[in-house]
Amino acid sequence: MISQTRDIVQKSLDALLEDESFLPEVKGETRKKAFTSLTSILSTPNHVHKSYLRIPLEDEKVVRIPAFRVQHNNALGPYKGGIRFHETVNEEEVVNLASLMTLKNALHNVPFGGGKGGIILNPREYSEKELHLVARKYVQYFSDVLGPDKDIPAPDMGSGEREMDWMMAEYKSIRPGTPYRGSFTGKSVVNGGSLGRREATGKGVFFTFRYLVHDFVKEQKSLLTKTDNVFAKTALDIEDRALTIAVQGFGNVGSVAALEAYQSTHLQNKVVAVSDRNVTLFNSDGLDIPALVEFTMENKGDLPTKDEQLKEIGVKAEIRGRDEVLYLDVDVLMLAALEDQVHKDNVEEVKARIIVEGANAPITTDADTYLSDKGVIIIPDILANAGGVIVSYFEWLQGRETQFYTEEEVFNLLYDKMKTTMNTVLPLFFGDPFPLRQNCYIHSVMKLSTVLYRQGKLY
């Protein structure tokens, strides 16, 4: 996963080096040296903080849990990124996710840098009291590098508003008398969180897909019909017909994206499959997404795994293996689970014509190349799943200004910001042979390169 980000950043820098209209004042050997500096700066983090949290458990054992906070780059503003609670967390993953946050914020013109945190544990194996202690210890161990103007964590996989509330409270107790509301985002509304923050990533995932296939394609149809771009042909092929959608992952991101698709009045959607860590549920006529969302809220986030459970909630569905969601003959596949889900060993079985990355890096480099060569449109993570950090920015602003937006205002601001980004990258995407991921990275690298050059950090 880490090589994918580095490779795309390097390809972007190579393309910009040859483009004399970019930073035209930097020429010759000076230009080569500046771009060598950019490669070094963007491919490595500023800081990697690591510690072992000492946690006394309720059974009177004491464990030491590895934890990380990576600060990749802060040229655009304070470091920003979630804290992942998951047993697969490792240092390389956190470094890569921090660099992805740098690029994501640059793409969407959010004035934050890139950071990321991780704690190696399975939260299902710990009591609420133990998780509360883990959250507090994380802040205690990393308090010197955190803060509303330094590094602002948020929820990620395995964490949510509860953990952010705990962490903000601990930060407040450690730093009495200093501003604390902006120290963490993704908090509960009563603790200064923003309305709509929990749903923001999932709503953004669906919005990017909807805007591409509905708004943009309709507005630019005359342009798209004149080009031989393979991705334009894919977009035109699915225009104005009912679309079947499958969603991998039914957590905060996947369930919200599925519900948005189910309720959308813009597109003729039907969500025919959803999955989680246990099961895929399939119905060619479409699933009752609201009923499934309600079930997961009452069953620790898990989808039904038995016919009796489906019957009890009135949902008609076939129960299939959890990975089958990837291989269904659908128009759209939304990946909202873990990284590396589509790879060289299974990519040939993937049939979807559009893939939306709700998770970070769910498609490996090899698989990405294979799918793009076939004309599959991949809306990449850097573009699709930025809703969370965008609304986190709104929450941070609200905390500083001590005023709050309505949920409608939050979502309107979110859509406007994502629409602006889409209108920047989509014309380029349909006008040249680069996949959308590459176009997004080029835009991000242009922004970061310009800022770093203006700040005098390339010499």
CA distances from 310 to 155, 213, 286, 319 (A): 31, 32, 14, 9
Q: In angstroms, how far is CA 429 from the centroid of its own chain?
A: 20
pLDDT of 37 higher than 90 = yes
Q: What is the mean pLDDT of residues 297-312?
A: 94
Confidence of residue 217 (pLDDT cuts 50, 70, 90): confident
Catalogue all structural domains in the chain, each as residue range(s) with its CATH number. Answer: 1-43+441-459 (no CATH), 47-181 (3.40.50.10860), 198-385 (3.40.50.720)
pLDDT in tens, 146-196: 999 999 999 998 999 999 999 999 999 999 988 898 999 999 999 999 999
What is the distance between the alpha carbons of residues 335 and 328, in angstroms, rounded to a whole number? Answer: 13
More confident residue, 267 or 385: 385
Question: Average pLDDT, stretch 295-316?
Answer: 95
What per-residue confidence (pLDDT) applies to 4?
Answer: 67
pLDDT band at 433 (very low <50, low <70, confident <90, very high): low
The predicted structure's pLDDT at residue 396 = 93
What's the angle, vertex CA 67, arms to CA 61 and CA 69, rounded to 5? 160
Q: Are strands 151-155 and 47-56 parallel, antiparallel or unpaired?
A: unpaired
Contact 251/301 with Cβ under 8 angstroms? yes
Give the per-residue pLDDT at 109: 95
Average pLDDT over residues 26-50: 94
Is residue 223 over pLDDT 60? yes
pLDDT of residue 269: 87
The mean pLDDT of the chain is 93
pLDDT digit string (tens) for 309-351?
A: 999 999 999 999 999 999 999 999 999 998 899 999 999 999 9
pLDDT above 80: residue 1? no
Q: Which residues lie closer than 8 Å to 87 by C-beta, 6 or more apart?
A: 120, 121, 122
Look up 116 and say whether it is catalytic. yes
Q: How far apart are CA 95 and CA 290, in angstroms?
A: 36
123 phi and psi angles, rounded to 5 deg = -60, -20
pLDDT at 203 over 90: yes
Calculate mean pLDDT across residues 263-282.
Answer: 93
> What letter would DSSP give residue 214?
I
Max Cα-Cα span within the chain:
71
- Annotated active-site residue in 116, 203, 417, 447: 116
**At residue 443, does pLDDT exceed 80?**
yes
pLDDT-derived band of residue 3, with 50, 70 and 90 as boundaries?
low
Helix residue ranges, H only, 307-384: 307-313, 365-373, 381-384
* Residues 353-363 pLDDT 10s: 999 999 988 99
Q: Are 353 and 188 in contact (CB under 8 A)?
A: no
